Amino acid sequence: MTTSTLSRTGPWPDAARPDSASADGAAPKEILHFIGGAYVAGGGGRRFENRSPVDGSLVSLVHEASRADVDAAVAAARAALSGPWGRMTVQERVDRLHKVAEGILRRFDAFLAAEIADTGKPQSLASHIDIPRGAANFAVFADVVKNVPTEFFELATPDGAGALNYARRGPKGVIAVISPWNLPLLLMTWKVGPALACGNTVVVKPSEETPTTAALLGEVMNEAGIPPGVYNVVHGFGPDSAGEFLTTHPGVDAITFTGETRTGEAIMKAAATGVRAVSFELGGKNPAVVFADCDLDKAIEGTLRSAFANCGQVCLGTERIYVERPIFDAFVARLKAGAEALVPGHPFASGTSLGPLISREHRDKVLSYYARAIADGATLVTGGGVPDMPAELAGGSWVQPTIWTGLPDDSAVVREEIFGPCCHIRPFDSEEEAVALANDTPYGLAAAVWTENLGRAHRVAGRIGAGIVWVNSWFLRDLRTAFGGSKHSGIGREGGVHSLEFYTELKNICVKL
Ligand code: NAD
Ligand code: 6OD
């Protein structure tokens, strides 16, 4: 394995900008692994292209980890557990994690440029959600871990002396973090923050589509005084590549994964060897239930966001909308107008409100559902194809925001996660029917309920089978709360003390007095 301090190559903002890859005729920028506190090229010599979803231009060449590179990353993480990191007090760890949060904010523009280069998402979105949450994920969990109480029981013993029981939490060990491409920094740090707060070390495998912010975070870790080996990053794909090498590695103690349900199934099989713990945040087919007594302005505004934000590539996004019949036509007309007002364009152009899909491959998948909807008898309310884009963006992965009505409840378009800017709207006639429709899915991640009737809001929220139900809002997040899905949407909950449940081993100590 070769090592480099990355002077010219690396995940810097200039390198990350889509138009800078080889504008000066120089070699394209390269994304290296981050192992033991240093950027390394890895031993295999294989690299793959990272292309911009905005225009198809080359963003960078990414080094693909070999099995030996993953071995090295896991070994570095294991060694760091018993080094200075393992000897730090909670307060010392907490101080460093706050420095990581500050470091992300100090380099806000670099993270923003890197995230946008990889995903093509509008600047307004990335600057309000992705990057601030990247920082918050360290600051919040540093505070959570500092303030967590422990349990304590006094036991009567036959000799009358008694015994004290108390619980101590220790790190689980080396945690594999496998993350997706839709909110790359946010979803990766949502796992790395609590894992490090609890004293673990991590090996991160970011999505092959979005390697850059995970790489850039290595620099921040070093600046914040996080010891070498605590945060490691290996790049590559899933099967027969870095993802599989990492999840099958016997040196990994637990796996936290965010991504597709089918990938979760493969990782769960890998985790069975060595009975390693898993935490899974998987797919969704999330309903919104809109009652006639809702505040329609708010329901339209919220549903426009939940269906189309991030070009529909949000696991919590709404793809099924159930609207009470008296307001059905008005709702459809207003959502149509809102969707048609979205402006696809360059992420840095003022006025852009819709980015591209992550890749041409993903666009093919989304467009196949657009065709399937028509084949299944949908009425196309708006969209359904590819927008006309200016010549310089024609190489991107653009699709139109799309709304259908009239599909049968058993259509694949209504049952399967599409992960694009699209939704189906169907009328309902009673609360009972609305709940039944919302629950008619193998998934159980999130739901939104729109009503001004307080009793109904609580009643319906309680009956919907999902890990998160928003009432009169969407994606309003408090990181202290439980987050996760039921059924095919995941295993376990993270957030606040729930993250500590996964990232620590609880030990009971019984002291005979
Ligand atoms: P994906 O499952 O294809 O990939 C996710 C990650 O897993 C990537 O890093 C990938 O390289 C890796 N991977 C793939 N196969 C693997 C294997 N066999 N072993 C180990 N690693 C492997 O998901 P995606 O396309 O990147 O993301 C979109 C999906 O993620 C959607 O289904 C979406 O709903 C889901 N998601 C869920 C949540 C949530 O919180 N529930 C959040 C975001 C995304
Ligand atoms: O907000 C979060 O913590 C979170 N995990 C969001 C997931 C979004 C899915 O795309």
Nearest-CA residue for ligand 2 atom 6 is: 187
Q: Is 94 helix (H, G, I), strand (E, B) or coil?
A: helix
Half-sphere exposure of 141 (CA within 13 A, CB side): 28
Query: CB within 6 Å of ligand 2 — which residues?
Result: 182-183, 187, 190, 281, 314-316, 477, 483
CA of 390 to the centre of ligand 2 (A): 32
- The residue to mutate among 187, 445, 478, having the most atoms of ligand 2 within 8 angstroms of its beta carbon, is 187
CA of 468 to the centre of ligand 1 (A): 20
- Tokens representing 113 are 């440029």
Ligand 2 atom at minimum distance from 495 CA: 3
Q: Output the pLDDT for position 463.
A: 98
The listed CATH number (3.40.309.10, 3.40.50.920, 3.60.15.10, 3.40.50.200) that belongs to domain 286-487 = 3.40.309.10
Query: CB within 6 Å of ligand 1 — which residues?
Result: 178-182, 187, 205, 207-208, 237-239, 243-244, 247, 258-260, 263, 266-267, 281-284, 315, 417, 419, 445, 485, 489-490
What amino acid positions are annotated as catalytic residues? 281, 315
CATH superfamily placement of domain 29-282+490-508: Aldehyde Dehydrogenase; Chain A, domain 1 (3.40.605.10)
Answer yes or no: is pLDDT of 2 > 50.
Answer: no
CA of 365 to the centre of ligand 1 (A): 15
End-to-end CA distance of the chain: 55
Q: Output the pLDDT for position 1.
A: 29
Q: Which residue has the higher pLDDT, 479 or 21?
A: 479
Cβ(493)–Cβ(484) below 8 Å = yes
How many other CB atoms are there within 10 angstroms of residue 477's CB atom? 16
- C-alpha 131/C-alpha 115 separation (Å) is 8
Answer yes or no: is pLDDT of 494 > 80.
Answer: yes
Neighbour-count burial for 131-160, b at 16+ CB within 10 Å, e otherwise: bbbbbbbbbbbbbbbeeeeeeeeeeeeeee
> How do residues 406-458 score in pLDDT, each as one tens digit?
999 999 999 999 999 999 999 999 999 999 999 999 999 999 999 999 999 99
Nearest-CA residue for ligand 2 atom 7 is: 315
Residue type at position 288: A
The mean pLDDT value for 63-91 works out to: 98
Q: Output the pLDDT for position 27.
A: 65
| Predicted model pTM | 0.94
Region(s) of the chain under CATH 3.40.309.10: 286-487
Region(s) of the chain under CATH 3.40.605.10: 29-282+490-508
Residue type at position 400: Q
- Helix (H) or strand (E) holding 296, with range, is helix 296-308
Q: Output the pLDDT for position 121.
A: 98
CA of 356 to the centre of ligand 2 (A): 19
Ligand 2 atom at minimum distance from 180 CA: 10
Q: Is 463 helix (H, G, I), strand (E, B) or coil?
A: helix
The mean pLDDT value for 264-285 works out to: 98
CA of 307 to the centre of ligand 2 (A): 15
For a pLDDT cut of 90, what percent of the chain falls above it? 93
Tell which residue, 320, 323, 337, has the closest CA to residue 291.
323
Tell which residue, 416, 411, 443, has the closest CA to residue 426.
411
- Residues pairing with 494 in the sheet: 483
> How do residues 384-405 score in pLDDT, each as one tens digit?
999 999 999 999 999 999 999 9
> How do residues 139-194 score in pLDDT, each as one tens digit?
999 999 999 889 999 999 999 999 999 999 999 999 999 999 999 999 999 999 99
In the DSSP assignment, the letter for residue 391 is G
Q: Output the pLDDT for position 238.
A: 98
Cβ(202)–Cβ(74) below 8 Å = no
- C-alpha 109/C-alpha 88 separation (Å) is 31
Nearest-CA residue for ligand 1 atom 14 is: 238
Which residue's structure tokens are 């949908």? 378
Cβ(278)–Cβ(300) below 8 Å = no
- The residue to mutate among 207, 315, 318, having the most atoms of ligand 2 within 8 angstroms of its beta carbon, is 315
Main-chain phi, psi angles of 479, to 5 degrees:
-70, -5
How many other CB atoms are there within 10 angstroms of residue 467's CB atom? 21
- C-alpha 292/C-alpha 256 separation (Å) is 40
Ligand 1 atom at minimum distance from 237 CA: 11
Answer yes or no: is pLDDT of 195 > 50.
Answer: yes
- C-alpha 265/C-alpha 245 separation (Å) is 16
Answer yes or no: is pLDDT of 111 > 70.
Answer: yes
- C-alpha 496/C-alpha 501 separation (Å) is 9
> How do residues 361-374 score in pLDDT, each as one tens digit?
999 999 999 999 99
What is the DSSP secondary-structure string of 115-162? Answer: HHHHH---HHHIIIIIHHHHHHHHHHHHHHHHS----EEEE--TTS--
Average pLDDT, the chain: 94
In the DSSP assignment, the letter for residue 46 is -
Tell which residue, 472, 463, 410, 411, has the closest CA to residue 432.
463
Which residues have a Cβ under 8 Å from the Cβ of 296 and sit 6 or more positions away?
327, 330, 331, 334
Answer yes or no: is pLDDT of 254 > 60.
Answer: yes
Burial class (CB in 10 A: 0-12, 13-18, 19+), 91: exposed
Return the sign of the alpha-carbon dihedral for residues 466, 470, 472, 475: negative
